[in-house]
Amino acid sequence: MMRAQVERRYDEYEHMASMAMMTRQAYHAKKLKQTDLFKRPLDEDIAKDKAEEARNRSEYTMKWLSQFKEFRGKEGVIN
Q: What is the pLDDT of residue 73?
A: 67
**Tally of domains in the chain:** 2
Statement: residue 77 has pLDDT above 60: no
Statement: residue 40 has pLDDT above 50: yes
pLDDT, mean of residues 23-28: 85
Say yes or no: 8 and 29 in one domain.
Answer: yes
Q: How buried is residue 16: exposed, middle or buried, by Cβ count under 10 Å (0-12/13-18/19+)?
A: exposed
Residues of the chain above pLDDT 70, percent:
87
Say yes or no: 51 and 25 in one domain.
Answer: no
Range of the domain at 49: 41-79
pLDDT, mean of residues 1-15: 88
DSSP letters, 16-34, are HHHHHHHHHHHHH-SS--H
Statement: residue 9 has pLDDT above 80: yes
Say yes or no: 32 and 63 in one domain.
Answer: no
